[in-house]
Amino acid sequence: MLFNSLVFAVFLAVVWPLWRLSPPAARRWVLLVASLVFYGWWDWRFLALLVGSAAVDFLCARAIPGARPARVKLLVATSVVTNLGVLGFFKYWGFATTELGRLAAAIGVDLPPSTLAIVLPVGLSFYTFQSMAYTIDVARGGQPARSFREVLLYVAFFPQLVAGPIERSGHLLPQLVRAADPGPGALRIGAELFVWGLFKKVVVADNLAPVVQRAFDQPDPGGLAVLVGAYAFTLQIYGDFSGYSDMARGVARWFGVELMVNFRQPLLATGPRDLWRRWHISLSQWLRDYLYVPLGGSRGGRGRTDRNLLITMLLGGLWHGASWTFVVWGGVHGLALVLAHHLPLRLPRPVAWVLTLHLTVGTFVIFRVHELGQLGSLLAALAAGLRPDAAAVAGLRLLLVMALLTGAWDLLLQRRGGDLLLQELPPWARWAVIGLLLVAVALLGGSYGQPFLYFQF
């Protein structure tokens, strides 16, 4: 069920009035059932994984208060191993068996190929991280939930279930338990966030998708097509993913829940560290708190700090998918963070912005290619010259228009901590902006019901 689909509009038109008219105790049941229906819409069989993950962490966390330190460690290990085991099997089995077969062939051993076909459950990477974080937080002194229903709702809350933000139990659980009425301001802000996110998804990201496909999915694309495609993919994935996050935050507001900001104008970052404070904030904070810090963080000297940064970013890259392209993408960002620690240059802000933008664009090329060998053919196309074929020129024009639209709206609407500023405008100006966005969605929106890019991760 996609936010940008008629099915979701009908789903929301049924669920929200039912939730609003229910007493607080029943609202949690309404949200829980709605969330399970929402997730089961893709494939009901995978509901067992979702419920099982929540059950393991509910049982582990419930046994933590008052337990001896050794038992607490065992319970946390049970949660982590279970969640990562499920994630590893469904997401990395094919990659692991393929690479093992290649390694065996290199040393002269012939292994039979794996015939096990595994479908990746949508949202698995997101909800396993959120679920096991609950157990870890309880072990660190957090308050355990009162019932399994609360934990399952925390894991399955449908606005952010399949692509984040990855929430913390201490932030999300109390809001879900409270089941408070959203005021008129929250309803208006939710609507504004949803429309702005929808604009970024269907107008910006979906219209740029063909430009990106010509560069990365077609043979002999030409140098200009590759160059335009690299910038277009950066803007596409930003519009697609941040658009989902904004829509998720908007829908959550209608249910009295405020989700964390997941993007803060990342394409305006002025350094590697600044980029990861702005891009996919919930994942970068999760990796910091549950991986980088337990590894030792910045304690123990510069060498260990560099090691911990590299391990964190390599695993963060691998989290995105079972491919060496994601590992290399994470490794390059890790090296950039290490260099930023060693070479704290004080560059003029415009220079730092240009360098960071092109680090982002260049690494997203690695992120987007089908295999590392494709990088050579793309570089060869660039070296052969920027021949101005009609499709590439049209793509460049579209890219410039979308960049101007996105940049203008971002600067006007989202310059304070990721939140929209429409509420500070007079009512007529707010309605004019929302009206313009809706007209753009209706007239310029791409193909109906296009999936979100991060659903595949």
CB 128 within 8 A of CB 86: yes
Element (H, E) at 197: helix 184-198
CB contact set of 221 (below 8 Å; sequence gap of 6+): 214, 215, 229, 378, 381
CB 252 within 8 A of CB 413: no
- Cα-based distances in Å from 428 to 160, 214, 259, 360, 433: 31, 41, 27, 38, 9
Q: Which candidate, 451, 369, 455, 432, places its Cα nearest to that of 201?
A: 451
Q: Which residue among 320, 342, 358, 370 is the active-site one?
A: 320
- And the tokens for 440? 């753009």
- Cα-based distances in Å from 306 to 65, 296, 333: 35, 11, 12
Q: Cα-Cα-Cα-Cα dihedral of 214, 199, 441, 163, to 10°?
A: 80
Rg for the chain, CA atoms, rounded: 23
Does 320 qualify as catalytic in the annotation?
yes
CB 189 within 8 A of CB 359: no
CB contact set of 14 (below 8 Å; sequence gap of 6+): none
Supply φ then ψ for residue 419, to 5 degrees: -90, 150
In sequence order, which ranges of 262-389 are alpha helices (DSSP H)? 272-276, 281-287, 293-295, 302-320, 324-342, 349-368, 373-383
Q: Which residues are catalytic?
A: 320
